[in-house]
Structure 1
Amino acid sequence: MARGPHPARCIISSGPPNKSPCGGLENEHAARLQYMEKRKKKKKRNVDSECRQFNDEWNIKYFFVKANDKALCLICKDSVAVLKEYNIRRHYESKHGSSYSHIIGAERTKKAIYKVAYVLAKKGKPFTDGSIIKECIVEAAGELCPEKVNLFKMISLGSNTVARRIEDLGGDIIRQIKEKAKRFCWYSLALDESTDVCDTSQLLVFIRGVDSEFNVTQELASVHSMHTTTTGEDIFN
């Protein structure tokens, strides 16, 4: 007697009734498809949301200015859409670095002189100390980075140069105080008289002001030498 086909095997599932035993795999596959769809519909990164802003230092470092929310190269008139220093630096180094790097170096040298002059003025040191500082820098560079010694030798820190740079810094401070004073809604003056090492009376004038946004500014506005008497009438005159 011929045998018939094998009887169908019965698969017993411990899951709920009327549910396929392969439901777990099906759910996993569906979740994977749903995840892929979400990735496809994901919006592209918005550059504006990253709050990228044009840095004014790029004017000197890379010869770029901001124009219509883009960075415009002043040399070749090309524009860079994304305000990111890497993109701007790559444009400058690949197209203009070999021709204009000496200008960048001159600006950095000038900035270094201003920084040294600022420290000398803040510490109350004589202008002639600039030459000593330069000698120290050159000696240290000769040991740490001998290949760049000539770069440090280009820094001019003579007494006359330091004096001019300190005058420039002082003039810039006065300009900033005047600009802020124009926005003062309320202000007050404080005067103090003191005597320097040469026994000369010095009148110090302090200003304190508040603008419409309640930003408080307090600065030493002026210093006047008084070689005669120092009465109240002399001060107010």
Structure 2
Amino acid sequence: MAQRLADGENRRFNPDWTTKIFCHEVKGKPICLICNNSVAINKVANVKRHYTLNHPDYDRRFPPGIARRQEQLDRLATQANGQMSMMRGATSLQQRAATADYEVCFKIAKAMAPYSHSELFKKCMVSAVQALYPEKLNIQQTFQSVLLSRNTCARQIEAIANHVTEGVVYNLNSFELFSVAVNESTDINDVAQLSVFVRYYLNKFSEDLAAVILLTERTTG
């Protein structure tokens, strides 16, 4: 079946959000100055929802229109700028190590392997490079710098999933029409789920998994 998308949604960052909702823009994405978390979609409703749900007492502590609110905003903005400067100053080795983190975690996610396998993978990787290049301590240190703990792997995979979801949503909002197909599937515990696939044309026909929804009722019929 085909569905028409809503038109007229503003995807641009509004500078007024900084003073009203404590949010600034980083590389085209709205970032909360209070908790440094990003908002998935650049829409005023999403930014306001994050502010009201996660920081409900901020307007009481720093009421609009008073000097104390502006002082708090300036302090948070200074902290954010300092953090961004530190990130920009990261060495190329750190950047490559971060890329390696995501590459390995992406492979683990595609293989549907347990997150704890990332720690085993790093041990194997370090042991292999130590055996292959025993005299190359810099290479060994490079492999040691790759962060692949279970918790890190979970965060990286969640970030990858959010990025993929945002990409699918962006593609769908580029077209007026797309087709949707649904099918029942089960997870490793044999729990019924509804898989939602979307198909659209972007230079070529593309098909993406839009959502997997847990089915709590009966699946017959």
TM-score class normalised by the smaller sequence:
0.5 to 0.7
Instruction: Decide whether the 8 Å contact of 1:189 with 1:208 is kept in 2.
Output: yes
Match of 2:148?
Answer: 157
Please report the RMSD computed on the Cα atoms of aligned residues, expressed in angstroms. 1.9
**Separation in 2 of the partners of 1:161 and 1:123?**
17
Task: Please tell me whether the aligned partners of residues 185 and 209 of structure 1 are also in contact (alpha carbons under 8 angstroms).
Answer: no
The match for 2:73 is none
Which residue does the alignment assign to 1:230? Answer: 219
For 1:143 and 1:101, the matched residues in 2 are separated by 33
Partner secondary structure for residue 224 of structure 1: strand
Partner of 2:171: 180
1:201 to 185, 192, 196: 192
Rounded Cα–Cα distance in structure 1 between residues aligned with 2:155 and 2:101: 11
Within the candidate set 168, 171, 178, 2:162 is matched to: 171
SS in 1 for 2:91: helix
Q: Following TM superposition, by how much is the alpha carbon of 1:225 offset from its aligned partner in structure 2, in angstroms?
A: 1.1
User: Which one has a bigger Cα radius of gyration?
Assistant: 1
Superposed displacement of residue 107, structure 1: 0.6
Q: Distance in 2 between matches of 1:231 and 1:184?
A: 34
| SS of 1:230 mapped into structure 2 | coil
Instruction: Give ranges in structure 1 of 5+ residues lacking alignment.
Output: 1-99, 233-237
Q: Map of 1:21-100 to 2, 5 A cutoff?
A: none
The answer for the alignment partner of 1:67 in structure 2 is: none
CA shift for structure 1 position 149: 1.0
Aligned equivalents of 1:208 and 1:220: distance in 2?
9
Q: Secondary structure at the match of 2:141?
A: helix
C-alpha contact (below 8 Å) 1:186/1:209 kept by paired residues: yes
Aligned partners of 1:169 and 1:205: how far apart in 2? 19
Other structure's SS at 1:136 match: helix
| 1-structure distance, mates of 2:149, 2:180 | 37
Give the Cα separation in 2 of the matches to 1:169 and 1:208.
Answer: 21
Counterpart CA distance in 2 for 1:209 and 1:191 is 15
Question: Which residues of structure 2 form unaligned runs of 5+?
Answer: 1-87
Match of 2:112 among 100, 124, 132: 124
- How many pairs align? 131
